[in-house]
Structure formats: structure tokens, C-alpha cells
Amino acid sequence: MIKPEIYRSLGLSDQEYQKILKILGREPTSTELAMFSVEWSEHCGYPRSRNWLKLLPKKGKYQSLIGEDSGGIIVDDLAIIFKMESHNHPSQIEPKQGAATGVGGIIRDIFTAGARPIASLNSLRFGPLSEPYNRYLLGGVVDGIQFYGNCIGIPTVGGEIYFDESYSGNCLVNAMCIGVANKDKLARAVALGAGNSILYVGSSTGRDGIGGCSVLASHEFKKGEEKRPTVQIGDPFMEKCLVEATLEALATGYIVGIKDMGAAGLTCSVSEMASAGNCGVEIELQLVPRADANMEPWEVMMSESQERMLICARKGKEKEIQEIFLKWDLHAVVIGKVTDNGMVCVKDKGKIVAEVSAHSLTEAPVYDMPYEKPDYLDELNKLDVTKLYEPKDYNEVLLKLLNCPTICNKAWVYEQYDHMVQTNTIILPGMSAAVIRLKGTNKAIAATTDCNSRFCYLNPYRGAQMAVAEAARNLVCSGAEPAAVTDCLNFGNPEKPDRFWYFKNCVEGIADTCKFFNIPVISGNVSFYNESPKGAIYPTPTIGMIGIIEDTGKICRQHFKKESDVIILLGSLKQGLGGSEYLKEIHGLTRGDVPDLDLQLEQSVQAAVLQAIRKGLVNSAHDCSEGGLAVTIAEACITEENQMLGAVIKLDVLENFCLRMDEILFAEAPSRIVVSVNKDNLSALCEIAKKHSVGCQILGEVKGDRLIARYKEKTIIDLSLVKLSDSWRKAIPQRLAK
């Protein structure tokens, strides 16, 4: 008789254990219990989120590819495969290995689809850098990302970092990878054909990471739990060999299906491949290569040791596949076969230790979780701006915002990453979006990650909409047409109705916005239980988006290029300080409602800017987001350190849309892009704006070595570019030097 404390310690409820008894018609073995616990966990089975994920659109303007472990789109004869996943809980415990294995895991999801990985991005969240442990986490996570990415030879080309008190006690590490394959050469994570062989390839199985992602990511941190020894250890050099061996083996045509042993390890790969193929699989654990000889069967099945994969190979072709992996000094062992009985049969020394229907493992119970709007939110959404003091010194405010860790230059981070390996990178980190060329074509991929979690906290539906809109806007500013989304949905405990209300509303916001823009969500990940004794994180539905640039000769960047260019604001003139970085940093407030988002206007602004870029009219384009208009223009002045150009701005044209100067300068309304154009191209740009019914306000010109903003001949801001640059570039190094 299995005691309740045993299955509860594995994350199973009393009701779930009773369901297992009903499925089996008997008590489970210890191995079976372990297998059910990981496959029914939130990280693997999505029992609490699956109903809502069905809302996300799967089709868009480009042909979609929806795989078992990743997804993508078709561009001509190429498949662009990409996905984003979380490694939050392991990174909070051991930041270097947690982040490193997060990178390794997402890379495996790409090349097991048959695509060669060409770029990585990441989205990171930490608590304030005034706290020593948060500084330790930032340093460790960045070290882990650079360690794995640089060693394996895949460029880390972009991403984002936010800092907020809500992430103290539970940092977020979301890793994204992009790969490219011939559209006719893709692989699936499936087992097919009774009698075909099951091969274990890659590294050895050890006790590191047992229950790491699958168990850790299915409950919130309690006091004293931050040091649980469940974090996996990664070896990027071995994974580099695994990439090459796998792609070479796939090219033989002898592989029926292949799957990464990620969260839930061997249990996940065996059961999900069998279920996807509507077949059974039988394996012998004594054949599994081990790092620890005395492991129990349940430990072998739960281990999340890295750099391992499972292959279903055509019968009679095992030797050819094994020779390829052995050439790369990797294990390649036949550990079982495909059967036609639909059962996952696990043997140890010939004795059956688990025999379970594959579908029963992969079809986790689905729950309709209760949800309820938090009581505090109505009060938080109230903001009377008339009670806010207006700053006397806007120079000081702008410098402080540029020095804010969320807004400031992140060179300390991305300069540790190799972003030029493979020589595909066209636009380097630090811009609105990364751009990677598609070799052999004149096209390129633009990629970005975006989410303003403070907006999602104050208004989850609109905040999620804003995340999608900003991601698309960033791609458009580089000259790309937004094409497809992967998401990483980071939330608190779903068993708490107020937390699940945030999740529900964010998913609805993403779904509605992607449908409006005709952009599919082709892959993704849900990470629940992101809580600590300090409370839940802000809801963070991270959006990873790619876009397609048709002509690499028409790529646009965010910094000003030429003296005397005209600076123009295209788009919305509505304002609002709710949820802004200005409100938080200057007034110490996180409140107000999120600015309105008019999806039709947003689409029109993006269409106008994209058309202007493709016609060669625009010399720079930078979207307004954190910090508002003033920060956007300042960044356009100083982004390119060796080509800093000043600006002279007249704010009079905006006076009819705002009552306050701080709103004009620092509000974070969407659907706004600042562009610079040659004077000769001004009328053509205005015609495009008029055609798309988009506002077009001339703000000033690119000029000199200062940023000057005037209102009715009164100077509001007057700062040297050197001072702006120093404040922006030195923010993180100064804080880490403490």
C-alpha cells in the first residue's frame, strides 16, 4: 500500500492517485508512480492550462508548422523552426547551470526537429540589483548563457532584461532558439512501426536533475527550499557533437522519429513518442548508459541528465546510425523496440517494473481552474495625475530613467555573448530587434522578445496585447514583416484563483491580438508556480516573435544616421502615465490603468513604417516603449557609441494632446514610432502616413552633440550626448561594482 505522503511528495493529489489506480486496476509500482507524477506535472502535461491554450491561433499569413516539441513557418523552401521555454526554478537555485541547461534544452528542441540552430535569444527577470542575491543571480545566469551558447557555437543575438521587486525570490530565465531546415527534411518526435528499434543516444544517465524541471516547476518555492539539489549539469561541448551527429544521422533517412530527453527525461521521450505514434514501446533499463551504476529504475526513468535523446530507427539500419554517433564519441545503444500494443513497458534485468498505456501517461487530467479578479486591482487602477508633482528638472528625470536598470544599456550582458559566430548576424544585440541572414537568399529573419509585466499586472488582457503589439512594432522598425510567435507564459500558483485570473486574461489578450494581426502562435511553454514567500511574480507572458525581411538591403536601425534629418513621430498621440517607468522610478508608484491600445491604429502604424522602410525613405526607426518619447529620442541619439548624433525637438505640436509636460515626455502609450528621414523624403513619408490614416508630427531635426527639447521657446531638456551616454551605459556596471 503506497502511503499518501509518498505520492503527494511527487506532486500528485489524492484524486490523481485514485485515477491512477483506476487506470491500472492495481497499485502502481514505484517506477509507474514516478512516471505518472512527471508526465502529469504542469511542466509536461499542462493539466491546468491546456483548455485556455486552445484559444491561441495556429494559422497566419505564412504557412505554419506545429510539431510535437517546436513549431515554425515556411519561407520559400525553408522551414524556420523556433521555440521559447522557461528554466526559472532551476536558475533561482543554481543560476549558472540552471540557465546553461535551459539554453541546452531549447537548442535540442530545435535540432531534433531537423533544423540547424542559428540563433538564440533570452528574456530575463530579476529583483532589484540593490540586493546582493539578485546581483549573484544576474551574474550567474549571464555566465551560464554565455558558457553554453559560446561553447556550442550558436550566437546569442538578442533578448531583454527587466528588474522588479516581484522577481526577488523567483527569477525568470526564458530561453529561445531559432533554426533553419529544408522544409522537406523535418523530423518528428514519434515512434512508428512495430519491430523498429529504440536507440538511446548522447550522454550518460545520472542522478543529476532527478525531478528537476518536472517537479520543481510544479510547485512554488517555500521557505528554505531554494537549495534543493535538483539542478541538471550541462556539457555544451557534448551537445555540439550531438547537434552534428543528429543532423548527419537524420540525413540518412533511417530515423523514423527523434525526441529530446528534456523535462521528465526517459519517461517523457518514451511515453510521448509512443503516444504520438499510437503504438507501444518496450525498453530494458540495464542497457541505458549510466553515470551512476546503482540507480533504481524510477531514478533512471526520472533523471533529467542533459544531452540525451531517444531515436526510433528503421529495423536493420541501427548499425549505420550507431556508427555516426560513435564517430562523435557519443553513446548509441539499442535499448528497446516499438510494439503494437499501445503500452509503455519498462524492464529492469528482464523484470517488468512498469507497464502502462502510453496515452494514459500523456493525457494528463485537465482541470477547469477557478479564477477571480483580485480585490486590490480596482484601487490600483486609480490614478489622479493632478496629485502628482511635476518635476522641476527634466534633465535630472531623463538621466535617472536612462540609468534605470530596466531601460539602460545592457552591453555588460550581451558583450559576454558571442553574437557573431556562424557569421549570420546583421544587426547586433542592443537594437530593437536582432537580424540574422538566411544564407543562400537575400532574405533575413528579425527576432525579438517582449513583455512589460507591470502592464500585465495592472491590466492582464491589455498588457498581453501590448506585449504582442510591441514585439511586432520592434520587428517592423528593423524592416521585417511580423510572421509568427512563440510564447513563454510565466505566472504564479494556478491553484490560487487570483493568479489564474491573470493567466486566463493574458492568454485571451495574446489570442485576440495574434488573430487580429494574422500571426500564429506556433509553439510555447507554460511556467506556473513562480512564487516565493515574498509573493507571486508579476504575470509575465513573454512573447518571442520572428519576422521576415525580404531584402537585406532594406534593413533599418534605431539610431540617428545623418545631420539635418527630420525627426517625425508616427502614430498615436494619446497619453497616460499608468504603469509607466516614470511613475515607478520618479514617484515610487505602480498603479493606474494601462494605456489604450487601438489594434487597427497599431496595424496601420506598422504598415506605414514598413512601407516607408521598404521604399528606402527612412534612415532610422525606433518604437516608443519604456520611458516614453524622451527616452526613445535619447536612445536614438546615443545607441551607436561611435556615431552619436544630437537632436533638437519642439514639443509644441503635442500640446493639444496632453495637459502635462511629464506625460508628453514619459508616457508609454503604444502605436508610436519615431523615425528620421532626409528632408527630400519628407513629403513621400507624409503621403504614406496619410494613406494609412496615421498621425505624422514633425518633432525636430538631427543636429549637434546635445539633446535639446523646447516648448514655446522654453528649454525643457538640454543635455550633452556624453552625459546621456554615460548615464545609460554605466548603470549596470555601477550597480554590480557595489
* 101 domain-assigned: no
* 335 domain-assigned: yes
Q: What is the pLDDT of residue 231?
A: 74
C-alpha cell read off for 176: 529561445
* 435 domain-assigned: no
Residue 229 has pLDDT above 60, yes or no: no
Q: Are residues 269 and 389 in the same domain?
A: no
Given a contact cutoff of 8 angstroms between Cβ atoms, the answer to whether 272 and 363 are in contact is no
Average pLDDT of the segment spanning 327-343: 97
- Model confidence pLDDT, tens digit, residues 117-133: 999 999 999 999 999 99
**Domain interval for residue 229:** 1-40+188-364
Q: What is the pLDDT of residue 223?
A: 55
Active site residues: 43, 87
Q: What is the pLDDT of residue 209?
A: 66
Residue 172 has pLDDT above 70, yes or no: yes
Q: Are residues 313 and 382 in the same domain?
A: no
Residue 218 has pLDDT above 80, yes or no: no
Q: Are residues 264 and 397 in the same domain?
A: no
Average pLDDT of the segment spanning 132-143: 97
Whichever domain contains 314, its CATH number is 3.90.650.10
Q: What is the mean pLDDT of the chain?
A: 94
Q: Are residues 614 and 730 in the same domain?
A: yes
Q: Are residues 320 and 383 in the same domain?
A: no
Given a contact cutoff of 8 angstroms between Cβ atoms, the answer to whether 633 and 724 are in contact is no
> Which of residues 330, 364, 398 is at a domain's end?
364
Q: Are residues 319 and 404 in the same domain?
A: no
* 545 domain-assigned: no
Average pLDDT of the segment spanning 277-283: 98
* 153 domain-assigned: no
Q: DSSP H helical segments within 349-404, as ranges?
A: 358-362, 377-380, 394-402
Average pLDDT of the segment spanning 26-52: 94
Reduced to 3 states (helix: H, G, I; strand: E, B; else coil), residue 715 is: strand
> Which of residues 364, 387, 422 is at a domain's end?
364
Backbone angles phi, psi at 385, to 5 degrees: -65, -20
Q: Are residues 338 and 378 in the same domain?
A: no
* DSSP output for 47-99: TTTHHHHTTS----SSPEEE-SS-EEEEETTEEEEEEEEE-HHHHHHSHHHHH
Average pLDDT of the segment spanning 140-162: 96
First to last CA, the chain: 56
pLDDT > 70: what percent of the chain?
97
Average pLDDT of the segment spanning 442-452: 97
Q: Are residues 354 and 392 in the same domain?
A: no
Q: How far apart are CA 635 and CA 403, in angstroms?
A: 12
* 494 domain-assigned: no
Confidence band for 572, pLDDT divided at 50, 70 and 90: confident
Q: Are residues 618 and 593 in the same domain?
A: yes
Number of folded domains in the chain?
Answer: 2
Residue 225 has pLDDT above 50, yes or no: no
Q: Are residues 394 and 296 in the same domain?
A: no
Q: What is the pLDDT of residue 208?
A: 76
Average pLDDT of the segment spanning 465-493: 98
pTM: 0.95
Average pLDDT of the segment spanning 229-245: 86
Q: What is the pLDDT of residue 220?
A: 59
* 336 domain-assigned: yes
Q: Are residues 663 and 699 in the same domain?
A: yes
Helix (H), strand (E) at residue 718: strand 714-720
Given a contact cutoff of 8 angstroms between Cβ atoms, the answer to whether 261 and 301 are in contact is no
Q: What is the pLDDT of residue 227?
A: 42
* 346 domain-assigned: yes
Backbone angles phi, psi at 582, to 5 degrees: -60, -45
Q: How far apart are CA 626 and CA 477, in angstroms?
A: 16
Q: What is the pLDDT of residue 222?
A: 56
Average pLDDT of the segment spanning 159-176: 97
pLDDT > 90: what percent of the chain?
88
Residue 228 has pLDDT above 90, yes or no: no
For every residue of 177-231, which 3-state class applies, written as one string? EEEEEECCCCCCCCCCCCCCEEEEEECCECCCCCCHHHHHCCCCCCCCCCCCCCC
Q: What is the pLDDT of residue 420?
A: 86
Residue 656 has pLDDT above 90, yes or no: no
Q: Are residues 251 and 302 in the same domain?
A: yes
Q: How far apart are CA 707 and CA 701, in angstroms?
A: 10
- Model confidence pLDDT, tens digit, residues 528-551: 999 999 899 999 999 999 999 999
> Which of residues 337, 364, 391 is at a domain's end?
364
- Model confidence pLDDT, tens digit, residues 287-299: 999 988 889 999 9
Average pLDDT of the segment spanning 358-385: 96
Amino acid at 541: P
